Amino acid sequence: MERLQKVLAHAGVASRRHCEELIVQGNVQVNGKVVRELGTRVDPQVDKILVNGRPIRTEQPIYLMLYKPTGVITSVSDPRGRRVVTDLLKGIKERVYPVGRLDYDTSGLLLLTNDGELANRLAHPSYEIDKVYRAWVRGVPSQDKVKKLATGIQLEDGLTSPGEAKLLKSTPTKEKALIELTIHEGRNRQVRRMCDAIGHPVITLERIRLGFLTLEGLQPGQYRPLTSTEVEKLKQGLVQNRKSRPRSR
């Protein structure tokens, strides 16, 4: 027996928090009765569970790592008919959703899953999972500007949380430079806005690592399932981060 909101999240209905809202609002039925109590325990293999009148799908959890290429939308559909990340998942029958997002012009590591609870934790800044990006930027940032990227940049939606920043190399002509930036947040176009703020706009941007996961062995457009060991390590890492790191202010 599992808590109802956890079952809904694992079925891909929504994030765990949103599932709790659906329950409280009376949108969930179990065996023909509306359930509003959080923490109600159910057996998804036995109980008939409806959300907004529709039965949930009791799929097995699936975890995929995709090397997202540029020119693809991080979504499961697009009203303008552009290619979306799920178009790249040939042979995957389960309904999966991207964890967080990468911009249309950004490539790199993207996780997709039908485990709503894990997706919500991975995307939430309080768990502070490392997101490592490499960006080619115009010009060569000074060491002071690189340090500023690490300590925090004032954006229109507030000061960014501390992270890490490195200047890896620059071209002989000094027209552009490669920087590596580690952040823990997931604000809209955050890395691009941070680089704009120091006067060095991004030319190309790629996410190369998420936690301990890297793109090793994948080419743009390719994906692979996470191993059971990787999934467990990812979950354990979230728990450890929550306990050991002070929350960002």
Distance of CA 74 to the CA centre of its chain: 10
How many other C-beta atoms can be found within 10 angstroms of the C-beta atom of residue 153? 19
**Residues 180, 136: Cα–Cα separation, whole Å:** 9
Angle at 156 between CA 248 and CA 209, to 5 degrees: 50
Tell me how far apart the alpha carbons of residues 159 and 122 are, in angstroms, rounded to a whole number: 21
Task: Please indicate whether residue 87 is annotated as part of the active site.
Answer: no
Q: Give how far Cα 4 sits from Cα of 27, 34, 42, 51, 177, Å.
A: 12, 12, 6, 11, 50
- Beta strand 164-170 with 223-225: parallel, antiparallel or unpaired? unpaired
Contact 234, 211 (CB under 8 A): yes
Coil/strand/helix, residue 59: coil
Residue showing tokens 């002070």: 246
**Interstrand relation of 54-55 and 97-98 (parallel, antiparallel or unpaired):** unpaired
Check 47, 87, 103, 130 and give the catalytic one.
Answer: 103
DSSP state letter for 61: P
Estimate the crossing angle of helix 16-24 against helix 116-123, to 10 degrees.
120
Catalytic residues: 103
